[in-house]
Amino acid sequence: MRWITRVSAWATEGQACPQDQLGVSGRWRGGLGAPWGPEGEGMVFLLLVHHLLLSPEAETTLAEPQEQAEGSLTVYVISEHSSLLPQDRMSYIGPKRTAVVRGIMHREAFNIIGRRIIQVAQAMSLTEDVLAAALADHLPEDKWSSDKRRPLKSSLGYEITFSLLNPDPKSHDVYWDIEGAVRRYVRPFLNALSAVGNFSVDSQILYYAVLGVNPRFDPASSSYYLAAHSLPHVINPVESRLGSSAASLYPVLNFLLYVPELAHSPLYIQDKDGAPVATNAFHSPRWGGIMVYNVDPKAYNASELPVKVEVDIVRVMEVFLAQLRLLFGIAQPQVPPKCLFSGPQSEGLMAWELDRLLWARSVENLATATTTLTSLAQLLGKISNIVIKDDVASEVYKAVAAVQKAAEELASGHLASAFVASQEAVTSSERAFFDPSLLHLLYFPDDQKFAIYIPLFLPMAVPILLSLVKIFLETRKSWKKPEKTD
């Protein structure tokens, strides 16, 4: 299934269609009626192509595109020989909520253009893979691969920690301009993601922090390497030194830059096939990423130890930002053939990627809220003598109302307000479920009190019962003794 909120289309040449056929200033707008499907998409785009505004001012509009509303997509249909696109390209996907499709003079022009628009819209809208990743925690483990469980769960906030690991400070004097890197590269990206949650960023330098795996030596290249099967064992020993997730209320993302010690330099990471990884880095789902930064071998010959090492922060941030996108579920789209794809601008995030992320997180929050409310209803159904406090009932009503509001806002294409409502639904449902008045019923239900208390009182009851039996027997024996008479 694939969703998109609104689609607008423009053509660049010809005569204008009557305004009453178009409805909205010469543009066709399709509401969020149903997911993309084999039947629906054919009818939708057949209507779309037949109701294009054939305006000579469209190329001027294309040259100066206006900011489109969230959840919308504007598709410009240009002539077959237009110079706006290279002649070998049939479509273009931009960083904003706009796309360009090349027209064609053919008897099946409407169908061909419609298929091209469908391909572009599918690449820029919510796909089944993105939806599966958002609902991975609510589906059976064997239904989806581990890659679908890579993105972080939706949260009100996130903490990001950049750590420089220098296990051999006697050999390496490492400097990295992490403050400037965060200001120039990380903050613009997080500002673009501000609608998703609150972010806090910090950094640290750890000395004598070694990996938990001994690298293997490769005589052919006179270098050391970490095999793919050993990478999971690298994180646990290092994580104990980070100390950032223990006291955090929000999910923590760790990005580690590791400068290998002189005895294990250079150090490379291998993939499953034994080939070196181009970025010399790897990431762990919902945890973060690690990059190995090798010192130039020529530096050891030019000076005495410790060698001054200035980190190429641009190369490092390229890797960390790519990992950060993956950990938030912002994957590279599957662009159609002969499509000119424009990468993100300086902030590292395209507008339609943010729409898709808000869509996915809203669906995830709705699934979480409904699951929590269902679990609460099942719990209350099993306990007959339970008393629901007014504040618990109020939170349940708030959660149900927020779920309904989020669904309505999604149907209207208001992604930001839908996401906020879905967060309120999760918060209210969890407050109701974890209310202190219900916790003791959750862990000590009435039908299991005997099973809970017997192991506690049985060890004390045995000696008490034996003592009572002994007292009873002695008392009975004293009653049977005849009284002595003189």
Q: Where are the domains of the chain?
A: 6-129, 155-327, 351-443, 452-480
Tell me how far apart the alpha carbons of residues 313 and 319 are, in angstroms, rounded to a whole number.
10
- Compute the 3-state secondary structure of the chain and give helix, strand, coil in percent, each to the nearest 5: 45, 20, 35
CB contact set of 26 (below 8 Å; sequence gap of 6+): 10, 16, 17, 19, 53, 55
pLDDT by residue, tens only, the chain of 486 residues: 334 444 555 444 433 333 333 222 233 333 333 333 333 333 233 333 333 333 344 445 554 555 667 778 888 888 888 888 888 888 998 888 888 998 887 777 788 888 888 888 888 887 777 777 777 777 666 555 555 556 788 888 999 999 999 999 999 999 999 999 999 999 999 999 999 999 999 999 999 988 888 899 988 888 999 999 898 888 888 888 887 656 678 899 999 999 999 999 999 999 998 899 999 999 998 899 999 999 988 887 766 888 899 999 999 999 999 999 999 988 878 888 989 888 777 778 888 999 999 999 999 999 999 999 998 888 888 776 677 888 989 999 999 999 999 999 998 889 999 999 999 999 999 999 888 877 666 666 656 666 767 777 788 888 888 888 888 888 888 887 666 555
Q: How many CA atoms lie within 13 A of 13 on its CB side?
A: 9
Q: How many CA atoms lie within 13 A of 297 on its CB side?
A: 7
Q: Is the dihedral of CA 242, 347, 282, 128 positive or negative?
A: positive
Residue 28, pLDDT score:
33
Contact yes or no for 2/122 (Cβ under 8 A): yes
Residue 8, pLDDT score:
53
Write the DSSP symbol of residue 212.
Answer: S
Specify the amino acid at residue 392. V
Tell me how far apart the alpha carbons of residues 398 and 81 are, in angstroms, rounded to a whole number.
56
Residue 58, pLDDT score:
43
Contact yes or no for 321/379 (Cβ under 8 A): no
Residue 43, pLDDT score:
29
What's the whole-model pTM score? 0.76
Q: Enter the tokens of residue 267.
A: 């150090």
